[in-house]
Structure 1
């Protein structure tokens, strides 16, 4: 039985879709939902295209660590609103720093998540194997089931 779901987001369209799936599953199973975003150490100069657009829309300036944490908090708030629209009363939100895939799996283990839901960037199996996408690494490292949403 699924009692706790962890959904990892990065601001991409696939990760937002993963929030929708995770929220629907959590509502159906009457499970807890945790929404996680992970900042890589020294990520400051390397904002994703999606986060850079969001920062511009929200008038968040300056590529410093605090701006990125603020942006991550806004992203988590947005994801929590999506979850509420799907019927979630409360979702725990977290910003962590570290190697992305390992940090997602570590948080899932510490919080005893029954399943991890993560968005895919749409990489094919061969390319994912060669490049080692985050969702692929999470699937390899996780001790619980992983749902990858396209």
Structure 2
């Protein structure tokens, strides 16, 4: 990362359930060079039937808050009874949060609190970006940013320009071209969910000209994305791949040992969404690293 940029303060809602993933999320927050004026609201949510666990939950949350205060971060805390996903979303709206941070999986035992599956609900119904953190967390050394060329893809690029990544982070930019043939969507989707096979008969003509035009468009998109990031003080390497978007992103993340994937919440085509489902949903479910899903209100 290079250069300096005056970034806007973040107002972060952090859902802390006491799990190892929530602990990893706290460590990640400590590593972010948060802009001056940023504030974190740490929230613990428990089922109403577990009211007897309130003192333990409050103590654990205060321990997390102190960890963040020790790093000079302004933080307040809330403990509430209710449905975890609904409560997180309600508090995020009330507190005017512009980023929600949750662990990838929740605590199944001990306190009887479970945030697993909640992360997905928060991503799908939230009105701001959501950072889903997965343990173990060992720093944000390698960050993968995905731009599919849609409005949501460019929202992702613009958002990360103002996001306070650690200065040592190495950034990769990826664009995934669609499969050359329509039936390849079905092949990619099959096995990743219950996808109905419509009647789809296509010939396979020569596609060299189409391929060249698509690849040129993809390369130009990546260069423009890199230039945008450079203006914000971030340098990036660019990569172009072809295939099922989620599959290629996950494979790239595995090859490069990515610590954080950054992607938009919607893709280009509603047809491919029908065939493949949400790419962000698959990233949250299958990725071995943390995922930042950028959704703009």
Which of 164, 176, 179 is the matching residue for 1:41?
A: 179
**1:30 and 2:168 correspond:** yes
1:91 to 217, 227, 236: 236
Secondary structure of the residue aligned to 1:103 is helix
Counterpart of 1:80 in structure 2 is 226
Aligned pairs (5 A) from 1:94-109:
94-109=239-254
CA 1:20–1:4: 2 relative to 1, 3 Å: farther
Larger Rg: 2
Which residue does the alignment assign to 1:10?
A: 148
Residue 64 of structure 1 aligns to a residue whose secondary structure is helix
1:119 matches 2:242: no
Question: For structure 2, which runs of at least 5 residues remain unmatched after alignment?
Answer: 1-138, 183-207, 268-272
Q: CA deviation at 1:24?
A: 4.3
Distance in 1 separating the partners of 2:181 and 2:223: 21
**How many pairs does the alignment contain?**
127
SS in structure 1 at match of 2:172: strand
Does the CA contact (< 8 Å) of 2:141 and 2:259 recur in 1? yes
Query: What residue is the counterpart of 1:65 in the other structure?
Result: 211
User: Residue 217 of structure 2: SS of its match in structure 1?
Assistant: helix
Q: Secondary structure at the match of 2:171?
A: strand
Secondary structure of residue in 2 paired with 1:113: coil
Residue pair 1:27, 1:87 contacting (<8 A) in 2 also: no
Secondary structure of the 1:87 match is: coil
Q: CA deviation at 1:81?
A: 0.9
- The answer to whether the Cα contact below 8 Å between 2:266 and 2:279 also exists between their aligned partners in 1 is no
Deviation at 1:29, TM superposition (A): 3.9
- Aligned-residue Cα RMSD (Å) equals 2.6
Secondary structure at 2:143 match in 1: strand
Closer, same or farther: CA 111–129 of 1 in aligned 2, 3 Å: same
Answer 1 or 2: which has greater helix percent: 1
Query: What is the distance in 1 between the residues matched to 2:218 and 2:181?
Result: 12
**How far, CA to CA, are the matches of 2:291 and 2:274 in structure 1?**
17
